[in-house]
Amino acid sequence: MKPAVLLACLIAVSVAGCSWIPRAGPSASEVVEQGQPGGEILFDVVEVDDRVVSTLLAQPKESFRARFKKNTEPADFKIAVGNTISVLIWESAAGGLFSEASPASRSTTTTEPLAPEIERRIGPRASERNLLREAPRIGANVEASGRSPATIPDQLVEADGAISVPYADRIPAAGRSPAEVQQTIEERLAQKALEPQALVIVKKSAANSVTVTGEAGVAGAATTARAAIAAGGAAGGVAVPLSPGGDREAAAASGFGARVPLSPGGDRLLEVVAAAGGAKAPVDETFVRLSRDGVTATIPFEQLVADPAENIYARPGDVLTLVQVPQTFSVFGATGRNAKIAFDAQKITLSDALGKSQGLRDDLAKPEGVFLFRYEPNSVVRALDQPIATGARTDVSPIVYRFNLRDGEAYFLARKFPVHDKDVIFVADAPAAQIYKFFSALNQVTGPILTGLLTCSHANC
């Protein structure tokens, strides 16, 4: 009877001792019970099935095309305050308001004799008639080829939005296209010059540009800023010139940003990023943040590259920031590896995450107790037909997804279930694992004692 009594005592002690045996976290039943203690909702526990996965995959994602759908096409190129403008003016004939008299018109016209062999072939009178007939056309061509336009010195579009053109007074330019400014100049000079033709060239336009900051190569303004800092040495600063119209984006140069001018035909976001030197951080860790007209949206850089619809046209005044955000998830409990693990890809699934953590331990894990902890937007919680947690913040609510990996179908769901940045995965211990731990701990204590007693009994000590 003594061995049986001893065994019963050990089992009773083991069952009672399971509560104080060390373990990685709560049991599966404790996770469920702690979600709604006393009727208060601390978090929702959702059993994952095909409907849950479909609901999560159907949720709309952040999108440049959706957020900025009203202005996805290239903006009309307009002159702005602070632009550098060059104006050229032609006249139809020499001796006008902007052109001098042709030297040929001031000199006496002389006729050079033809070569003797030509005179013999066509006759003196015929050659004279031909030369007189061709003289006006030849003279006009010579005169046209020698006439150059009048160039107005480069000037800034000042705070009043206008530029100065001689004999045409102040010409409004800001907010207008170069063609509209040209037409105004020609109309102002029509009664003063000889059929004037104007050409307006925008040589520098700070307003028609995009500021690129963050984890970009910034080959433009950033290079200048670094060189200035290196040259300044102990001065500890860099001077950033501002345009007359005010230039908030110019300060990006001091923060190693780049201001990329836009072409009149428009440039898409990837073209702007490439012009700024490209992304420095790994693609799977880089996010693109676009700020436009007081609205900001952020998407993964891989999404911008993979989906042509997201590669919308940049617009003047946009601020494009490349942000490096390493995507990670944490794994605890009965897995082969407890750690914070990097995604190494734009998106991963639960099966990928468990694989990165070396899977469930077959000596400890409870397959029915695989949990994923996450804060979900309230819109997602409602779509899952779950109540909002009592102490939830205004926009998100804690939720726990439970997987039963003893069911073969759950592995197909795990292949589709998306893991988000900063998710926490916990695998609960199986009940038998606590008994196993108890006997292992008991063996650490009783093993040396039993060994000593056996040794003593054999040695007759």
Q: Does 70 or 184 have the greater pLDDT score?
A: 184
Average pLDDT over residues 56-80: 86
Say if residue 259 is in the same domain as residue 272. yes
Q: Could you report the per-residue pLDDT of 247-260, keeping only the tens digit for each?
A: 444 444 444 578 88
CA dihedral 207, 209, 213, 216 (to 10 degrees): -160
pLDDT at 268: 92
Range of the domain at 57: 13-61+327-436
Say if residue 88 is in the same domain as residue 152. yes
pLDDT band at 392 (very low <50, low <70, confident <90, very high): confident
Average pLDDT over residues 310-319: 92
What's the CATH number where 216 sits?
3.10.560
pLDDT band at 38 (very low <50, low <70, confident <90, very high): confident
Residue 66 lies in a domain: no
Paired tokens of 409:
């179908």
pLDDT at 3: 52
Residue 69 lies in a domain: no
Say if residue 419 is in the same domain as residue 345. yes
Q: Does 205 or 367 have the greater pLDDT score?
A: 367
Domain count, the chain: 3
Residue 41 lies in a domain: yes
CA pair distance 61, 396, nearest whole angstrom: 16
User: Is the distance from CB of 345 to CB of 285 less than 8 angstroms?
Assistant: no
Say if residue 263 is in the same domain as residue 366. no
Say if residue 135 is in the same domain as residue 233. no
pLDDT at 360: 94
Of the residues 141, 176, 204, which one is the last residue of a structural domain?
204
Paired tokens of 80:
């702005």
**Beta carbons within 8 Å of 40's beta carbon, 6+ residues apart:** 390
Say if residue 215 is in the same domain as residue 320. yes
Question: Considering only 158-172, 225-239, 349-363, which range has the smallest mean pLDDT?
Answer: 225-239
Residue 71 lies in a domain: no
Say if residue 333 is in the same domain as residue 422. yes
Say if residue 347 is in the same domain as residue 291. no
Paired tokens of 262:
């836009």
CA pair distance 174, 81, nearest whole angstrom: 6
Q: Residue 155 belongs to what H/E stretch?
A: strand 150-156
Mean pLDDT of the chain: 78
Say if residue 307 is in the same domain as residue 341. no
Residue 125 lies in a domain: yes
Average pLDDT over residues 32-44: 88
Q: Between β-strands 328-333 and 424-429, what pairing exists: parallel, antiparallel or unpaired?
A: parallel
What's the CATH number where 102 sits?
3.30.1950.10
pLDDT at 239: 39
Helix axes 50-57 and 409-416, enclosed angle (nearest 10): 10
Say if residue 178 is in the same domain as residue 222. no
Q: Could you report the per-residue pLDDT of 113-143, keeping only the tens digit for each?
A: 545 544 444 444 444 444 334 434 433 443 4
Q: Could you report the per-residue pLDDT of 416-444, keeping only the tens digit for each?
A: 999 999 999 999 988 865 655 655 666 66
pLDDT band at 206 (very low <50, low <70, confident <90, very high): confident
Residue 457 lies in a domain: no
Average pLDDT over residues 254-276: 82
CA dihedral 443, 449, 452, 453 (to 10 degrees): -110
**Beta carbons within 8 Å of 160's beta carbon, 6+ residues apart:** 170
Residue listed under structure tokens 């914070």: 340
Residue 453 lies in a domain: no
Residue 454 lies in a domain: no
